[in-house]
Amino acid sequence: MASFRLRTAGGKLKIEHSIIDGLRRVLETLLENHPEEIRMIVPGVIKPVRDAKGKLRLKVSVATTNGWKALAFSAGARQEIFISTEMPREALEAALQRSLEA
Protein backbone atom coordinates (compact mmCIF):
# COMPACT_ATOMS: atom_id res chain seq x y z
CA MET A 1 0.00 0.00 0.00
CA ALA A 2 1.35 3.40 -0.93
CA SER A 3 2.07 5.69 2.01
CA PHE A 4 -0.15 8.49 0.66
CA ARG A 5 -3.27 6.30 0.78
CA LEU A 6 -3.46 5.95 4.57
CA ARG A 7 -3.21 9.19 6.51
CA THR A 8 -4.12 9.95 10.10
CA ALA A 9 -5.22 13.07 11.92
CA GLY A 10 -4.32 12.79 15.56
CA GLY A 11 -4.08 9.05 15.08
CA LYS A 12 -7.88 8.71 15.17
CA LEU A 13 -9.08 9.75 11.70
CA LYS A 14 -8.25 7.20 9.01
CA ILE A 15 -8.49 8.51 5.45
CA GLU A 16 -7.96 5.67 2.98
CA HIS A 17 -9.58 7.27 -0.08
CA SER A 18 -11.41 10.42 -1.09
CA ILE A 19 -13.83 12.17 1.23
CA ILE A 20 -16.89 14.38 0.62
CA ASP A 21 -16.09 18.11 0.48
CA GLY A 22 -16.30 19.70 3.93
CA LEU A 23 -16.57 16.39 5.79
CA ARG A 24 -12.94 16.21 6.89
CA ARG A 25 -13.23 19.53 8.75
CA VAL A 26 -16.36 18.31 10.55
CA LEU A 27 -14.73 15.04 11.59
CA GLU A 28 -11.57 16.80 12.80
CA THR A 29 -13.72 19.20 14.84
CA LEU A 30 -15.59 16.23 16.32
CA LEU A 31 -12.29 14.66 17.38
CA GLU A 32 -11.01 17.94 18.85
CA ASN A 33 -14.17 18.39 20.91
CA HIS A 34 -14.45 14.75 22.07
CA PRO A 35 -10.92 13.31 22.28
CA GLU A 36 -11.75 10.93 25.13
CA GLU A 37 -15.07 9.61 23.79
CA ILE A 38 -14.09 8.96 20.14
CA ARG A 39 -11.65 6.09 19.60
CA MET A 40 -11.48 6.20 15.80
CA ILE A 41 -13.30 7.49 12.71
CA VAL A 42 -13.09 5.68 9.37
CA PRO A 43 -14.85 7.25 6.35
CA GLY A 44 -16.12 4.63 3.90
CA VAL A 45 -16.74 4.56 0.17
CA ILE A 46 -18.53 7.44 -1.58
CA LYS A 47 -21.59 6.46 -3.64
CA PRO A 48 -23.70 8.66 -5.91
CA VAL A 49 -27.32 9.23 -4.82
CA ARG A 50 -30.11 11.44 -6.12
CA ASP A 51 -31.40 12.73 -2.77
CA ALA A 52 -28.12 14.30 -1.56
CA LYS A 53 -28.67 17.91 -2.53
CA GLY A 54 -27.58 21.10 -0.85
CA LYS A 55 -25.09 21.53 1.94
CA LEU A 56 -23.46 18.75 3.93
CA ARG A 57 -25.85 16.74 6.16
CA LEU A 58 -24.98 14.03 8.68
CA LYS A 59 -27.19 11.29 10.06
CA VAL A 60 -26.36 8.55 12.57
CA SER A 61 -27.60 5.35 10.96
CA VAL A 62 -27.11 2.09 12.86
CA ALA A 63 -25.13 0.69 15.77
CA THR A 64 -22.02 -1.34 14.95
CA THR A 65 -19.96 -3.71 17.06
CA ASN A 66 -17.79 -0.92 18.43
CA GLY A 67 -19.82 2.25 17.84
CA TRP A 68 -22.01 3.76 15.13
CA LYS A 69 -22.31 4.05 11.38
CA ALA A 70 -23.22 7.54 10.19
CA LEU A 71 -24.03 8.82 6.72
CA ALA A 72 -22.85 12.07 5.15
CA PHE A 73 -24.84 13.53 2.24
CA SER A 74 -23.69 16.32 -0.08
CA ALA A 75 -23.55 17.27 -3.75
CA GLY A 76 -25.16 14.11 -5.10
CA ALA A 77 -23.07 11.72 -2.99
CA ARG A 78 -23.42 9.63 0.15
CA GLN A 79 -20.50 8.49 2.30
CA GLU A 80 -20.58 6.03 5.17
CA ILE A 81 -18.64 7.01 8.28
CA PHE A 82 -17.75 4.44 10.92
CA ILE A 83 -17.30 5.99 14.36
CA SER A 84 -15.78 3.89 17.12
CA THR A 85 -17.19 5.23 20.39
CA GLU A 86 -19.26 4.32 23.44
CA MET A 87 -21.28 7.54 23.17
CA PRO A 88 -25.05 6.99 23.05
CA ARG A 89 -26.79 7.78 19.76
CA GLU A 90 -28.34 11.05 20.95
CA ALA A 91 -25.01 12.37 22.29
CA LEU A 92 -23.22 11.48 19.05
CA GLU A 93 -25.94 13.11 16.92
CA ALA A 94 -25.68 16.29 19.00
CA ALA A 95 -21.86 16.26 18.78
CA LEU A 96 -21.99 15.81 15.00
CA GLN A 97 -24.47 18.66 14.66
CA ARG A 98 -22.28 20.99 16.76
CA SER A 99 -19.24 20.02 14.67
CA LEU A 100 -21.19 20.67 11.46
CA GLU A 101 -22.21 24.15 12.66
CA ALA A 102 -18.69 25.08 13.88
Instruction: Give the residue among 71, 73, 48 at the shortest CA–CA distance from 61.
Output: 71
If one counts every other C-beta atom within 10 angstroms of the C-beta of residue 21, the result is 11
pLDDT for the residue 10: 59
Sheet holding 13-15, edge to edge: 7-9, 13-15, 38-48, 77-85, 67-74, 57-64
pTM: 0.85
Nearest to 81 by CA among 99, 100, 98, 64: 64
Task: Name the more confident of 55 and 6.
Answer: 55
pLDDT tens readout for residues 27-71: 999 999 999 999 999 999 899 988 777 889 999 999 999 999 999
Task: Note the pLDDT of residue 90.
Answer: 96
